[in-house]
A and B are shown apart, each in its own frame.
Chain A
């Protein structure tokens, strides 16, 4: 009985967590921002060194494409990635990366273009 309770408890909590460890970060455009025009670039800034391994953009929940990460070397705190303009709608960005301490990181943010 105790073990069942434990598994229910753990699985409940996991539902509210990220896949991997996440860090404090700031994204540009900010999560939830509403813009007039599609930004040419998106920015990702972390409080510690990071190596991005995959960034995907999904537009209007229909079209998904991987963003060009360019030639990365070492672990850096700031990234600026070109964004393909897809017109008005929601842009959902999902990123994955490796922290300098070896932790896999991930996160998502969204913005809307009117």
Chain B
């Protein structure tokens, strides 16, 4: 097991991914499905603020935890020399971009209305901050960073639809709106999700490099575990698209609760996927 600072690094990274992707996803979905989600405007903005604040808090805490990792001691979290050193490296650049993005996201969401476009730009900036750090950025190639950017945008979009869809499918009064939202999301996802998977394959090929590395290293095996849960998530999404959403459209009374339960399972899958990602981006070594 990693030591306490390794575990803290994984925990803060997990919550950071959850915060950024959910807040950005809510803003993305609010803009893409503006007609269906107009009635949930306040609900979406409150949750977007919550997850953006979580992301901002985890951005600071995660940065400080890096200081603790470097000193193997809690004193590293407040050691100004260590934190200033970190600030000069890519984690400092990423922190700055992320906070700017989250600041714009929060401003746009709090003001609402036309300002949601500011929130959208902030969301994209916050997501891009992940492309400025780590092994993808180390490759120093824009196309590779763009692949990760696309991967994360689709992931955020997927995560962002879950809260409103769950809310709408939980009430008999909004089942018709839930059916339309589910149908429209399925249409977009049928194009976006293959792109997400393709981006995942490209990054795996680039970072892992070979089948023996995929099967014989902790990084590769954690990635395989993530892929296994992604497969489960895809199966749930397929059931939603082919059975539950059509059932909602045809007015079946039990379709709403079934969809809400399926979405809860999707949340569990997404939690495990984000945790696996936090593990291999925080404490594991890229094979290649």
Contact = CB atoms under 8 A, between A and B. Distances in A.
Q: DSSP majority for the B interface?
A: helix
A96 B6 CA distance: 13
A18 B82 contact: no
A10 B90 contact: no
B74 interface: no
A98 B70 contact: yes
A72 B119 CA distance: 42
A101 B72 contact: no
Contacts of A100: 89
Given A53-B70, A96-B72, A104-B69, A20 B279 contact: no
B217 to A, nearest CB: 9
Contact of A2 (B91, B221, B232, B279): B232
Contacts, number: 84
Contacts of B72: 54, 96
Interface stretch (B97-105, B179-187, B190-198, B222-230): B222-230
Q: How large is the interface on A (under 10, 10 to 19, 20 to 34, 35 or more residues)?
A: 20 to 34
A19 B70 contact: no
Contact of B89 (A15, A18, A98): A98
A104 B66 contact: yes
A45 B6 CA distance: 24
Contacts of A17: 2, 218, 283-285
A19 B10 CA distance: 11
Contacts of B285: 17-18, 21-22
Contacts of B70: 53-54, 96-98, 104
Contact of A14 (B1, B272, B286): B1
A70 interface: no
A13 B85 CA distance: 31
Given A13-B218, A19-B6, A102-B90, A96 B69 contact: yes
Interface of A: 2-3, 6, 9-11, 13-22, 51, 53-54, 96-98, 100-102, 104
Given A54-B72, A104-B69, 14 more contacts: A6-B228, A10-B225, A10-B275, A10-B276, A11-B1, A13-B218, A14-B1, A14-B218, A17-B285, A18-B285, A19-B2, A22-B285, A53-B70, A101-B89
The 8 closest A-B CB pairs, nearest first, are A102-B89, A13-B218, A102-B90, A53-B70, A102-B91, A104-B69, A19-B6, A17-B218
